[in-house]
């Protein structure tokens, strides 16, 4: 693969994460977290409530308004074996909203726990307490085949409930496995941003968990453009990198949607652009390459993970966005929807974002590679500083505001 100047070894993006640095629960108040502020090689210790004072007036902040669904379901075989089914994305129908609206049956792509115990047939929802609503729903799962490392499962139920209601009744919040605990009542609210809107994620865009209505109001009062995209976060965000050579790692793809109005505002934005979270960053940076596809007359459906390193950057970012707008006008569409598999690693050239708000990520993860691509080797000093100064790490941990070097 000659499109990369040098081999990137994941072992070079490792650090020691003490177990007591991992936040197993959220703080009592969302915006009470600490904020590591990195700018021009300098590191400052802040509180998240100070964020509005650190964002220049006239900036655009881009939030991911996806909503986490209670995607973990527990079933039982007649033999007594427990089978966990982790919903990933709809297959039949493929549209999220249509799937959530179904009232009898849907097919989803899933991951299966204890898969060796379930190779065929129908299993029933686990109901050890004999809850009446579970009995009334009579939710079952039918194995319908394998696709790579995932599986297709048909869910069937009764009672006239739509699938969104079924998940709300029977499903568990898909908190990350590294929390090493079961879902608790507080997770239902706190593993969700206050601006969550469109259902579809099986992992929270955790950079947004710190924001409150008061923080958002303060940002708007400062004439900061609050904008939203929708990227449904997949379980792949938790998948460890198992190959030392990063080129051999297969990145997950995720669906996203942006409005025509958002693209127009991004095209005309003169001030800073700050991505709230790595998911917003991946969405924004993918738009440039979808613009190249539109400009070249290609159908903009999927951005493969290494395409950004192969394509010649022939257009300005404004011209790339104009190409998408022309595509939308041609097809009389108000929304641009596609899937991105983009993998952002050191050597990546950022087209849109100048700032990034994000939590502290796991060692040897694709998210840490994105941070290293954004601020270079200074990621090490930021993480060493955070550990030495007792910052809280991972999904329920503290935050950082990083500016590009």
Name which of 270, 261, 263 is nearest 286 in CA terms.
263
The whole-angstrom separation of Cα 217 and Cα 222 is 9
Position 5 scores a pLDDT of 67
The 8-class DSSP code of residue 22 comes to B
Mean pLDDT, the chain cut into blocks of 10 residues (405 residues total): 75 96 97 97 98 98 97 94 95 95 97 88 94 96 90 96 96 92 94 97 96 98 97 84 92 95 97 98 98 96 94 89 98 97 95 98 96 98 98 98 94
Position 329 scores a pLDDT of 97
The 8-class DSSP code of residue 184 comes to -
When computed from its CA atoms, the radius of gyration of the chain, rounded to whole angstroms, is: 22
Position 3 scores a pLDDT of 65
Q: Taking a C-beta distance cutoff of 8 angstroms, is the pair 52, 218 a contact?
A: yes
The whole-angstrom separation of Cα 237 and Cα 202 is 10
Position 21 scores a pLDDT of 97
Domains and CATH numbers, the chain: 10-67+191-403 (3.40.1780.10), 71-172 (no CATH)
Q: Taking a C-beta distance cutoff of 8 angstroms, is the pair 34, 45 a contact?
A: yes
Position 2 scores a pLDDT of 55
Position 311 scores a pLDDT of 79
Q: Is 84 helix (H, G, I), strand (E, B) or coil?
A: strand
3-state helix, strand, coil split of the chain in percent (to 5) is 35, 25, 40
Across-strand partners of 110? Answer: 87, 151
Position 277 scores a pLDDT of 98
The whole-angstrom separation of Cα 102 and Cα 108 is 12
Across-strand partners of 143? Answer: 153
Position 236 scores a pLDDT of 79
Beta-carbon contacts of 376 under 8 Å, excluding residues fewer than 6 positions away, are: 346, 405
Q: Taking a C-beta distance cutoff of 8 angstroms, is the pair 21, 375 a contact?
A: no
At 330, phi and psi to the nearest 5?
A: -60, -40
Kind of pairing between the strands at 105-113 and 82-92: antiparallel
What does the pLDDT look like over 66-103, one tens digit per residue?
A: 999 999 999 999 889 999 999 999 999 999 999 999 99
Taking the alpha carbons at both ends of the chain, their separation in whole angstroms is 28
The whole-angstrom separation of Cα 79 and Cα 186 is 33
What does the pLDDT look like over 297-308, one tens digit per residue?
A: 999 999 999 999
Alpha-carbon distances of 36 from 32, 43, 385, rounded to whole Å: 13, 7, 9
Alpha-carbon distances of 323 from 216, 250, 315, rounded to whole Å: 32, 29, 10
DSSP string computed for 96-160: HHHHHH-SSEEEEEEEEETGGG-SSSEEEE--TT--HHHHHHT-EEEEEEEETTEEEEEEE--SS
């Amino acid at each position: 693969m000659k499109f990369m100047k040098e081999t990137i070894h994941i072992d070079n993006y490792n650090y020691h994460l003490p177990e007591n640095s991992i936040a197993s629960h959220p703080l009592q108040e969302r915006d009470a977290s600490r904020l590591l502020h990195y700018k021009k090689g300098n590191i400052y210790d802040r509180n998240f409530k100070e964020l509005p004072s650190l964002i220049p007036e006239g900036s655009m902040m881009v939030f991911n308004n996806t909503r986490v669904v209670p995607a973990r379901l527990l079933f039982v075989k007649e033999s007594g074996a427990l089978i966990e089914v982790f919903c990933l994305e709809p297959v039949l129908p493929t549209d999220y909203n249509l799937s959530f609206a179904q009232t009898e049956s849907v097919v989803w792509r899933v991951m299966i726990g204890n898969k060796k115990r379930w190779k065929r047939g129908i299993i029933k929802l686990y109901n050890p307490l004999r809850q009446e609503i579970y009995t009334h729903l009579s939710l079952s799962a039918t194995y319908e085949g394998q696709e790579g490392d995932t599986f297709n499962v048909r869910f069937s139920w009764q009672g006239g409930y739509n699938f969104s209601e079924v998940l709300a009744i029977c499903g568990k919040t898909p908190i990350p496995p590294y929390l090493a605990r079961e879902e608790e009542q507080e997770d239902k609210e706190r593993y969700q941003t206050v601006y969550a809107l469109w259902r579809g994620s099986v992992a929270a865009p955790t950079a947004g968990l710190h924001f409150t209505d008061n923080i958002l109001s303060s940002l708007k009062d400062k004439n900061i453009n609050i904008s939203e995209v929708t990227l449904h976060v997949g379980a792949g965000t938790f998948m460890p990198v198992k190959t030392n050579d990063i080129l051999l790692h297969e990145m997950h793809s995720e669906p996203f949607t942006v409005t025509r109005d958002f693209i127009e505002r991004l095209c005309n934005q003169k001030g800073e652009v700050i991505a709230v979270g790595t998911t917003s960053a991946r969405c924004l940076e993918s738009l440039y390459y979808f613009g190249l596809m539109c400009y070249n007359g290609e159908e903009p459906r999927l951005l493969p993970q290494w395409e950004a390193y192969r394509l010649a950057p022939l257009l300005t970012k404004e011209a790339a966005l104009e190409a998408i707008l022309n595509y939308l006008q041609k097809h009389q569409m108000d929304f641009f929807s596609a899937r991105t598999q983009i993998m952002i690693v050191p050597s990546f050239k950022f087209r849109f974002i100048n700032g990034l708000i994000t939590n502290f990520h796991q060692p040897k993860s694709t998210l840490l590679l994105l941070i290293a691509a954004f601020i270079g080797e200074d990621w090490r000093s930021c993480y060493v500083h955070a550990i030495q100064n007792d910052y809280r790490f991972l999904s329920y941990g503290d935050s950082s505001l990083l500016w590009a070097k």
